[in-house]
Chain A
Amino acid sequence: MAGSALKRLMAEYKQLTLNPPEGIIAGPINEDNFFEWEALIMGPKDTLFDGGVFPARLTFPPDYPLSPPKMRFTCELFHPNIYPDGRVCISILHAPGDDPMGYETSAERWSPVQSVEKILLSVVSMLAEPNDESAANVDAAKKWREDRKQFEEIAKATVRKSLGL
């Protein structure tokens, strides 16, 4: 399957290069392996993570796009939908079969018509609007719900840190 996956990834890379969405850069870390990507995501404007640049790593399975890639932020990111180890918890990244939270409809989950761009855009909107109902990071969800001010402080520090300032 690797052949068709490679072609598809190549096409996606091309599209993302020629026509990059606002605040998103993504591409293979090393072209010797097209199945490991790094993406830079800029925090969406007028949100808590505004201005931060967050690196993430995308790992594609050999049967991509039949199975979703895995995505993990390589920087520290305190967010209700991001596990403490950086893994991203959004429904679009879940294969139609498995349902870790038990409430997603299959319509929200992975399908081969999704793409890296759509994943990253979903992540951007997830950064803008955390979903505290399916918390991957319980601490963050709690803080987000109960102590918004402190959450904002942490988010600001994260943004600052992500910029290396």
Chain B
Amino acid sequence: MPAILLERLPLPSLQTYVAASVALLAVALLYTHHAVLTTPTLSMVEKEAMAAMQSPSSLQQSPAEDPGPSFFDLLRFDISPEESDPDAEAEEDLDSGNLTLPYDTYGMNFMFMLTSEAWCVWTLVNTVYCVLILLGKLIQAIVFGDLRVSEQQHLKDKFWNFVFYKFIFIFGVMNVQTMEEVVLWVAWFTCLGFLHLLTQLCKDRFEYLSFSPTTPRRAHVKLLGLLTVLLACASALLGVCIVAGFKFGLTIFAFMAAECVLLGLKALYVVVRYMIHLWDVSMEGVWENRSLYVYYSELVFELSSLSIDFAHHLHMLLWGNIFLSMASLVICMQLRYLFYEFQRRVKRHKNYLRVVKNMQARFPMATQEDLEHNADDCAICWDKMESARKLPCGHLFHNSCLRSWLEQDTSCPTCRMALTERQENANSPANNAPPGAANNANMADAAANANQGTTNHFFHFDGSRYVSWLPSFSVEVTHTSLIPGQQLRLLQAQTSQLDGMLRQVQAVFPNFPQQVILEDLRQTRSVDLTIDNILEGRLTATRISDVAPMRDDFRAVPTAPSETPVREDSPWVAPSAPPMQPPMPSPVSRTGQMAVQAAMQAAAVELSSPPLADPVLPPTQLPTSDAISTFTRQSSQTAESSPASSQSSEEQSLHGDEMLGGGSQTQGGRFSKSASERMTMLQQRKTAMLEQARRRYLSRTSGSSEGTGDGLSSASTPSSTSINTASDEERARRRELMLQATQRRLNSS
């Protein structure tokens, strides 16, 4: 690749280059200055010569005397176009004897001298480039600051590619012969390349800025300002094209305009994307159509720039009268690349359209009722769902989220049920869904199908066939006469109410087993009464860790069926879902918990737990809550590979948090609004964790040398240390709540 070779060139540093350029310019200026001052004597000599000029011999000498007429011409065209007036040129040619002093003022003469010397001209060209580089650096310093590595790399690649292709263009396609043309084209491409590089930089920077939520407004304003300037420059260049088109013909115009339009399109695309991004960021909530706009703007811009580029290259190939050359080969390769890109894009769009059509035809929009039943965020973007599409397996997703997923895969993101078009015929659950993950959903499907015909059904689920920890169980489905909607809503209301009360109680007794509290709350229906019960020792805290493994099994598995589509899908089948467990009126997950409570109460009899005399619990008791949280974590971990949607695991983690109580907050639970604060907090948590682990490691190594292998104490070390470091504030709050409860009790009695 040319870029790689060129990259290895030993380029001088910017400082050296600028210094050399300035020195060169100074020398050139000095030289010219000197020359202008000394011209009178020269002109005197030439005047004498002019007297003898009448003879034809000296006439022939004068053009030869001029070292570089082409440079001279080109520069007058390039830098001082006012001098390129053909009249002036003719005039000069006429009285060539007066060549050294065509103007009256020193300044004009100075310019004239500067442009008539070849090396001065090159110095000027060099100076122009130097200024351009400095301008680029300035813009970079103002708008971008330090460039990132990837941006630098992009810039370099782009630069050398540009140089390479334009070189091919100038010498291969245009096949320019005169120096004047070369310099004109070089000047044109210099401007164009400069703007191209800046646009590329803007694009990269925009993409980077969109990675951060905390970009200051100033950065956006600067970048957008620069983009506007770039757009203005592109349109100005288009104006130049039109002027040049009138002068040099349509072909030249087409060549130049294509480049301009490409530049403009690129800049405009970045601006449009930027606007969409800013609009999205500033908007609260979900912008359902965002991805639609993003997609179509990308499509339109990509296709149009590809087609313009293609036409441009085709034009080059056809117009260049040299078919068999390296240049035509390069252009052919470029054409091929552009063609494949175009094809790829069109193919992708076809796929997109197919997906959209398929989605609209097969996955209906979820009804309001579905959304209420689901009461969860979209599992893909974790945002709230105001409208959603429903898959045959009952899972809901945002329209746009689902579409972008289906573009690359054809299964339900949650349960992996295959969503290919032929799937509708293949109804046997074993075929279309992978084992393990989707079997619960399949089972529910089977239940739903079976229910349509008969009322009672018997299902056997052999979990260990798929994953070792999955239990095996049998379920008998019977019809009950409960009205599904009512029952469900009632249960949901109860659950959320209970959860709220549970949280209140746990604020006071963070380490008290959740199940016991829940059980009591179900009976008392009052936070105060439950707190009183606990204070009076009517409720007993059991060591949950002893029963937890059992609990874990219950929690991990029965929550899964509660997520299955049966309830969401067809309301009239719903009554079959709760009675899948032993006939109890509550939803499955609660049934599991109640069963656990029964077991725990049995355990509570055996384990005489200490009555809670001291309201603020000594740290030695805290391991219990830690143990619970560990198990909840484990259960959520196991649940992840089962079809339970994120709701169930989130629900569990929520409980885990509640049970952790103050413990989790000491781990740095607050999510600060300020980015810097968040970063320091994260850092603190990391160092704390490392510190803790170190301490634990050291204490254990010393402990193991003594030979005390107390499993419980070693396991609880990190949590107890973290709780020991808990803020006193937290403890004070707890104590206060406790005091209030005690006072209430005293007042009532």
Contacts and interface: CB of A to CB of B under 8 A. Distances in A.
Whether chain B is bound by chain A comes out as yes
A40 interface: yes
A53 interface: yes
B697 interface: yes
A66 to B, nearest CB: 6
B682 A17 contact: yes
A107 B290 contact: no
Nearest to B629: A22
A142 interface: no
B260 to A, nearest CB: 29
A112 B379 contact: yes
Interface string B637-677: 10011000110000001101100000010011111000110
A8 B286 CA distance: 11
Contact of A21 (B277, B434, B633, B679): B633
B212 A121 contact: no
Interface string A12-40: 11110111111101011011111100001
A4 B212 contact: no
Interface in A91-114: 96-97, 105-108, 111-114
Interface stretch (A78-86, A144-152, A157-165): A157-165
B214 A32 contact: yes
Contacts of B416: 106-107, 111
Interface string A120-150: 0110010000000000000000000000000
Contact of B290 (A3, A20, A25): A3
Interface string B672-706: 00011011011001100110011011101000000
Given A3-B210, A51-B700, A96 B411 contact: yes
B690 A53 contact: yes
B294 interface: yes
A27 B682 contact: yes
B418 to A, nearest CB: 9
Per DSSP, are chain A's interface residues mostly helix, strand or loop, or mixed? mixed
Contact of A113 (B208, B414, B653, B694): B414
A97 B690 CA distance: 38
A8 B214 CA distance: 15
B738 interface: no
A31 B214 contact: yes
B380 A34 contact: no
B382 interface: yes
Contacts of A18: 657, 664, 669-671
Contacts of A97: 408-409
A123 to B, nearest CB: 11
A42 B664 contact: no
B381 interface: yes
A12 B379 CA distance: 12
Nearest to A52: B693
A99 to B, nearest CB: 13
Contact of A30 (B438, B679, B681, B715): B679
Contacts of A32: 211-212, 214
Contact of A34 (B211, B641, B698): B211
Contacts of B210: 2-3, 6
Contacts of A53: 689-690, 693
Contact of A33 (B211, B668, B682): B211
Nearest to A118: B640
A152 B45 CA distance: 99
B379 A113 contact: yes
A130 to B, nearest CB: 16
A111 B671 CA distance: 27
A36 to B, nearest CB: 9
A7 B409 CA distance: 22
Given A111-B414, A121-B640, A7 B383 contact: yes
A17 B669 contact: yes
Contacts of A63: 404
A149 to B, nearest CB: 17
B281 A19 contact: no
Nearest to A26: B682
A157 to B, nearest CB: 13
Given A11-B382, A18-B671, A53-B689, 14 more contacts: A4-B401, A6-B211, A7-B381, A18-B669, A19-B669, A25-B689, A27-B679, A31-B214, A51-B696, A96-B409, A112-B401, A113-B414, A115-B646, A165-B698
16 contacts: A3-B277, A19-B653, A19-B656, A20-B685, A21-B653, A22-B630, A32-B211, A34-B211, A34-B212, A42-B689, A53-B689, A107-B435, A108-B437, A114-B640, A121-B633, A163-B690
Interface of B: 207-208, 210-214, 276-277, 280-281, 290-291, 294, 379-383, 401, 404-405, 408-409, 411, 413-414, 416, 434-438, 629-630, 633, 636-637, 640-641, 645-646, 653-654, 656-657, 664, 667-671, 675-676, 678-679, 681-682, 685-686, 689-690, 693-694, 696-698, 700, 715
User: 10 tightest CB-CB pairs across the interface, nearest first?
Assistant: A107-B434, A107-B437, A31-B675, A113-B379, A112-B380, A27-B682, A2-B210, A11-B382, A111-B413, A121-B637
